[in-house]
Chain A
Amino acid sequence: MIEEIGRTTEGDVMINVGPQHPATHGVLHLVITINGETIKKVEPHLGFIHRSIEKMCESLSYRQFIYVTSRMDYLSSHINNHACALCVEKGLQVEIPSRAQVIRVLMDELTRIASHELWWGAMAMDLGAFTPFFHAFRERESINDIMEETCGARLTMNYMVPGGVMQDIHPNFQRRVKDFIRLYKSKVNEYDELVTGNIIFQNRMKGVGYLSPEDAISYGCTGPPARGSGVSCDIRKLYPYEIYDQLEFDEILETGGDSFARYMVRVREMNQSIRIIEQLIDNIPEGDFQAKTKAVLKLPKGEFYQRVETARGEFGVYIVSEGGTTPYRIKFRSPGFSNLSALDHMVRGSKLGDLVAMMGTLDLVIPDIDR
């Protein structure tokens, strides 16, 4: 492997894509070797936005460390918070009120839609179409408004706490979510007209960046990249948490394995999230929004692990507790890191323009990869 990296033949050119580059959506640094327009190798260099979040968490209490995790995958911060809260609750063995559970799932699914909306716009922008970005942001903006009312924030929510949610939903919440569903359903056809059905778009996406199911598993891909290759890996179905086992929704699987399959998985997933929200929005049970917990949380000695399905794939929280008020060690399993590792395998032999398209379909969030 090392020999192969060192070997360059005549006509090979090394290009640094990033850390400042429009295609990388953040401070990712890719060293690519190209021959003409054909890519021979891609080496991701990480660490530009490493904030040692895992180490930071060791000195924060079980209530505090959740706030830091909003800064990892900032596009699905609710779901990150959710995973941490679930993991702490596992250790505390508290029973969550059903109202809190429903609110949490609603927030998760809204976050998933918002995240996929942003990905859809950014993906189209990677391919050179600017207009979809603004159309996607129109819908995303209304989700952010809903979040702002209830959580007080638009990006880093910090709404989920051990034992439930921080405060009750805003009185307008149900009405505005229903408005959003109506808006989304009236606009979703525009997405297909503008992007999915476009012949140039389909030519750019179909048959490029093939990832076989075996490779997807061996690279540890989760979420839409793996489901695009036909690997069933939806944590909500396989290891249901909260009330996902009582809900009706489909795990989206595409068998193409190419960029277009990964694209379609996300677009169809948004519709499934809408389906989940529709089931829950009229059935939010009455009751407490938070279980009674002690002011200072202490986890018993032991190891706790919780995984959830974020918009990007499987997110895992692993807490080692010595019985104190702070964790002894915390490890996060972020989906972006594993998905990025498959990039080199996918991209070899394709054209430079395809690199950008494939990175778009992986939906990388760099602070999630670097932590």
Chain B
Amino acid sequence: MWSFSNISKFIDNWLRATFNPIWTMVIEMVIAGVCVIGLFAILGLVLVIMERKVSAWMQIRLGPNRVGPKGMLQSLADTVKLLVKEGMTPAGADKFLFNLAPFIAMMVAMLLMAPIAFAKDFQMWDLNIGVLYVSAVSSIMVISILIAGWASNNKYSLMGAMRSGAQIVSYELSAGLSILSIVVLSGSLNLNDIIQSQADGWWIFKGHIPVIIAFIIFIIAVTAETNRAPFDLAEAESELTAGFHTEYSGMKFALFFLAEYVNVFIVCAIGATLFLGGWMPFHIGHWQGFNHVMDYIPSSIWFFGKTFFLIFLIMWFRWTFPRLRIDQLLNLEWRYLLPISMFNILLVTLMAILGWHF
């Protein structure tokens, strides 16, 4: 199987031959940083146009079709518009915190990019506690939303922020528990090890019903964690005008917007990695011929295919369901999802100990 490590090894060897070790490290870090920022921007543009097209298909509309071929450059035009807009700070706002919040949101989204394996041997940081890192860093997101809501000096923003605080903190629990069930099965926190453990079949197929339950809970919980409809109470256009980013305009708003979409990508990438095998092609046990044919499809296509399938699923939710009320939202988590996922993880543990999975 062709691997990206050939390219990275080549660059690494060339740099080591040309510069001394410290400069090599600095240059490699810069290259990685530029890659993250580039990926971040491209993902934002792609996901925005994808959301608009998906929503248009569901709403019997055409969607953007003027800028570029089939409207594909629409989000580029929007970015330019947002860049030249005035970034206003309201009079009563806490200026420092108000301007800090969008950067925290974006930084969190960027940090989360690090441990994700985009393709075979294409990973920025092969972290041995990858899963833990992702859960820990993603919970910083709530701080930026709380800061934004508080510093805006707007009642709608504050209510949106408080809602989202309650929501993200509670849904992190069941998201974490469903992630744990895969950690239990694969016996590692390292994302690469988890992918390797799915070489003979993805966990969603190998893990019987408990893993399917965990997958469903994971999808519900991450939809809530990323503040997407039907759990978009932090924004809730019809109730709170725009929730925590009511007062933001121009590029500061765009950073929140980008961070939201990149977060959606990241949680879907994590979901694809844990449950659907990441870049691992579709393998069935000992069918050597079949597995070999599947290996011909590049690993990046497998990864992005699975991730975008999950993203489409989350977009599908958004354009189909009405919004929950805040008490129903918390009831759903604390009374249904959390007990179910706690019981589920017991089942998974039992399954892992007794070796009942394939």
Q: Which residues of A contact B (CB under 8 A)?
A: 13, 15, 21-23, 37, 124-131, 133-135, 138, 194-195, 198, 200-201, 203-204, 351-356
Hey, which chain B residues are within 8 Å of A129, CB to CB?
229, 319-323
Additional 19 contacts, C-beta under 8 A, given A22-B237, A23-B238, A124-B322: A15-B156, A21-B241, A22-B241, A37-B163, A125-B238, A127-B322, A127-B323, A128-B232, A131-B55, A131-B58, A133-B59, A134-B60, A135-B60, A200-B230, A200-B321, A200-B322, A204-B328, A353-B239, A356-B239
What are 20 inter-chain pairs, A to B, with CB distance below 8 A?
Answer: A15-B156, A21-B241, A23-B239, A37-B159, A37-B326, A125-B238, A127-B322, A127-B323, A128-B232, A129-B320, A130-B319, A131-B58, A131-B59, A135-B60, A200-B321, A200-B323, A201-B322, A351-B326, A352-B239, A353-B236
Looking at A13, A21, A130, A354, the one whose CB has the most chain B CB atoms below 10 A away is A130
User: Nearest chain-B residue to A122 (Cβ)?
Assistant: B238
User: Nearest chain-B residue to A133 (Cβ)?
Assistant: B59
Alpha-carbon gap, A204 to B240, bound state (A): 17
**Chain A contact residues, majority secondary structure:** helix
Tell me whether A198 and B239 are in contact in the complex, defined as CB-CB below 8 angstroms, given that A15-B155, A134-B60, A351-B326 are known contacts: no
Top 10 closest A-B pairs, CB basis?
A: A128-B323, A127-B322, A134-B59, A129-B322, A353-B325, A126-B238, A23-B238, A128-B322, A201-B322, A131-B319
Looking at A37, A126, A127, A128, the one whose CB has the most chain B CB atoms below 10 A away is A128
A138 and B60 form a contact (CB under 8 A): yes
Q: Is B86 an interface residue (CB 8 A)?
A: no
Alpha-carbon gap, A196 to B58, bound state (A): 18
Hey, which chain A residues are within 8 Å of B238, CB to CB?
22-23, 125-128, 356
User: Nearest chain-B residue to A125 (Cβ)?
Assistant: B238
B236 and A128 form a contact (CB under 8 A): yes
User: Nearest chain-A residue to B242 (Cβ)?
Assistant: A22
B60 and A204 form a contact (CB under 8 A): no
Q: How many A-B residue pairs have CB under 8 A?
A: 85
Q: Is B46 an interface residue (CB 8 A)?
A: no
Min C-beta distance of B135 to chain A, whole Å: 27
B322 and A204 form a contact (CB under 8 A): yes
A351 and B325 form a contact (CB under 8 A): yes
User: Nearest chain-A residue to B323 (Cβ)?
Assistant: A128
Contact with A along B200-238 (1 / 0, CB 8 A): 000000000000000000000000000001101100111
User: Nearest chain-A residue to B326 (Cβ)?
Assistant: A37
User: Nearest chain-A residue to B158 (Cβ)?
Assistant: A13
Alpha-carbon gap, A204 to B327, bound state (A): 11
Tell me whether A203 and B59 are in contact in the complex, defined as CB-CB below 8 angstroms, given that A127-B323, A128-B232, A128-B322 are known contacts: no
Q: Is B9 an interface residue (CB 8 A)?
A: no
Min C-beta distance of B319 to chain A, whole Å: 5
Alpha-carbon gap, A130 to B59, bound state (A): 8
Alpha-carbon gap, A356 to B240, bound state (A): 10
Alpha-carbon gap, A324 to B230, bound state (A): 60
Alpha-carbon gap, A133 to B55, bound state (A): 12
Alpha-carbon gap, A177 to B120, bound state (A): 60
Tell me whether A198 and B325 are in contact in the complex, defined as CB-CB below 8 angstroms, given that A134-B59, A352-B159 are known contacts: no
Hey, which chain B residues are within 8 Å of A356, CB to CB?
238-239
Min C-beta distance of A13 to chain B, whole Å: 6
Hey, which chain B residues are within 8 Å of A125, CB to CB?
238
Alpha-carbon gap, A82 to B308, bound state (A): 54
Hey, which chain A residues are within 8 Å of B240, CB to CB?
352
Hey, which chain B residues are within 8 Å of A126, CB to CB?
238
Min C-beta distance of B336 to chain A, whole Å: 12
Alpha-carbon gap, A74 to B268, bound state (A): 45
Min C-beta distance of B247 to chain A, whole Å: 15
Hey, which chain B residues are within 8 Å of A135, CB to CB?
59-60
Q: Is B335 an interface residue (CB 8 A)?
A: no
A198 and B159 form a contact (CB under 8 A): no
Alpha-carbon gap, A126 to B230, bound state (A): 13
User: Nearest chain-B residue to A14 (Cβ)?
Assistant: B155
Min C-beta distance of A89 to chain B, whole Å: 42
Hey, which chain B residues are within 8 Å of A194, CB to CB?
320
Alpha-carbon gap, A15 to B326, bound state (A): 18
Alpha-carbon gap, A100 to B313, bound state (A): 53
Hey, which chain A residues are within 8 Å of B230, CB to CB?
128, 200
Min C-beta distance of B49 to chain A, whole Å: 18
Contact with A along B145-177 (1 / 0, CB 8 A): 000000000011001000100000000000000
Tell me whether A200 and B324 are in contact in the complex, defined as CB-CB below 8 angstroms, given that A15-B155, A15-B156, A21-B241 are known contacts: yes
Min C-beta distance of A41 to chain B, whole Å: 16
Hey, which chain A residues are within 8 Å of B322, CB to CB?
124, 127-129, 195, 198, 200-201, 204
B229 and A128 form a contact (CB under 8 A): yes
Q: Is B61 an interface residue (CB 8 A)?
A: yes
User: Nearest chain-B residue to A129 (Cβ)?
Assistant: B322
Hey, which chain B residues are within 8 Å of A352, CB to CB?
159, 239-240, 326
Hey, which chain B residues are within 8 Å of A355, CB to CB?
239
Hey, which chain B residues are within 8 Å of A22, CB to CB?
237-238, 241
Min C-beta distance of B224 to chain A, whole Å: 13
Hey, which chain A residues are within 8 Å of B323, CB to CB?
127-129, 200, 204, 353
B59 and A204 form a contact (CB under 8 A): no
Min C-beta distance of B162 to chain A, whole Å: 8
Looking at B61, B239, B324, the one whose CB has the most chain A CB atoms below 10 A away is B239
Alpha-carbon gap, A354 to B239, bound state (A): 9
Hey, which chain A residues are within 8 Å of B55, CB to CB?
130-131
B325 and A204 form a contact (CB under 8 A): yes
Tell me whether A131 and B156 are in contact in the complex, defined as CB-CB below 8 angstroms, given that A126-B238, A203-B328, A356-B239 are known contacts: no
Tell me whether A131 and B320 are in contact in the complex, defined as CB-CB below 8 angstroms, given that A351-B327, A353-B325 are known contacts: yes
User: Nearest chain-B residue to A194 (Cβ)?
Assistant: B320
User: Nearest chain-A residue to B230 (Cβ)?
Assistant: A200
Hey, which chain B residues are within 8 Å of A200, CB to CB?
230, 321-324, 328
Hey, which chain B residues are within 8 Å of A23, CB to CB?
238-239
Min C-beta distance of A204 to chain B, whole Å: 6
Hey, which chain B residues are within 8 Å of A351, CB to CB?
325-327
- Tell me the chain B residues, 285-329 only, with Cβ under 8 Å from chain A: 319-328
Hey, which chain A residues are within 8 Å of B321, CB to CB?
128-129, 198, 200
Alpha-carbon gap, A199 to B267, bound state (A): 25
Alpha-carbon gap, A351 to B322, bound state (A): 16
User: Nearest chain-B residue to A24 (Cβ)?
Assistant: B238
Alpha-carbon gap, A135 to B58, bound state (A): 9
Min C-beta distance of B244 to chain A, whole Å: 15
A353 and B60 form a contact (CB under 8 A): no
Alpha-carbon gap, A200 to B229, bound state (A): 12
User: Nearest chain-A residue to B235 (Cβ)?
Assistant: A128
Alpha-carbon gap, A355 to B232, bound state (A): 17
